[in-house]
Amino acid sequence: MILMRKLQYLLITLLASALVSACGPKSRRAEIEQRKEALHHKQDSALAQAQQELALVDSALQEANALHQQLQEVLQEGGLSDSQLYDLGQRITKARLHRDSLQVRFDVLCGKIKYIHRMQEK
């Protein structure tokens, strides 16, 4: 009989503690804090990845700018035949397109980094 009462008391205690821990406000707060922490980690990793990619795009953009500038200087020097002038024009156009696409990627990554910083300040 005493064993039965102790078993009932133990069972009731276990059920009550399970209900309180599962439905209590502390568990919701803990979940919210876990999600905030996970968001912070995700933002940190996205920021690091964007900064690494920005460094690569920046160096490629500098090279593309230098190539485009070099081709423009060759064009301004003159003394080229029609076929050389045509080929140079094609190369300048491709270099400008490549430079412009890198510039767009650079601007997007800068915007992404600024956005992540703003979100982390909140």
Q: Give domain status of residue 29, yes or no.
A: no
Q: Give domain status of residue 103, yes or no.
A: yes
Residues in the chain: 122
Q: Give domain status of residue 12, yes or no.
A: no
Per-residue confidence (pLDDT) for residue 46, from 0 to 100: 92
Residues 6 or more apart whose CB falls under 8 angstroms from that of 85 comprise 75
Q: pTM of the entire structure?
A: 0.68
Range of the domain at 52: 46-122
Q: Give domain status of residue 115, yes or no.
A: yes
CB 23 within 8 A of CB 82: no
Residues 6 or more apart whose CB falls under 8 angstroms from that of 10 comprise none
Q: Give domain status of residue 100, yes or no.
A: yes
Per-residue confidence (pLDDT) for residue 62, from 0 to 100: 96
| Mean pLDDT of the chain, nearest integer | 86
Q: Give domain status of residue 95, yes or no.
A: yes
Query: pLDDT category, 114, cuts 50, 70, 90?
Result: very high
Per-residue confidence (pLDDT) for residue 27, from 0 to 100: 79
Q: How many domains does the chain have?
A: 1
Q: Give domain status of residue 35, yes or no.
A: no
Q: Give domain status of residue 7, yes or no.
A: no
* pLDDT tens figures, 32-85: 888 888 888 999 999 999 999 999 999 999 999 999 999 999 888 888 788 888
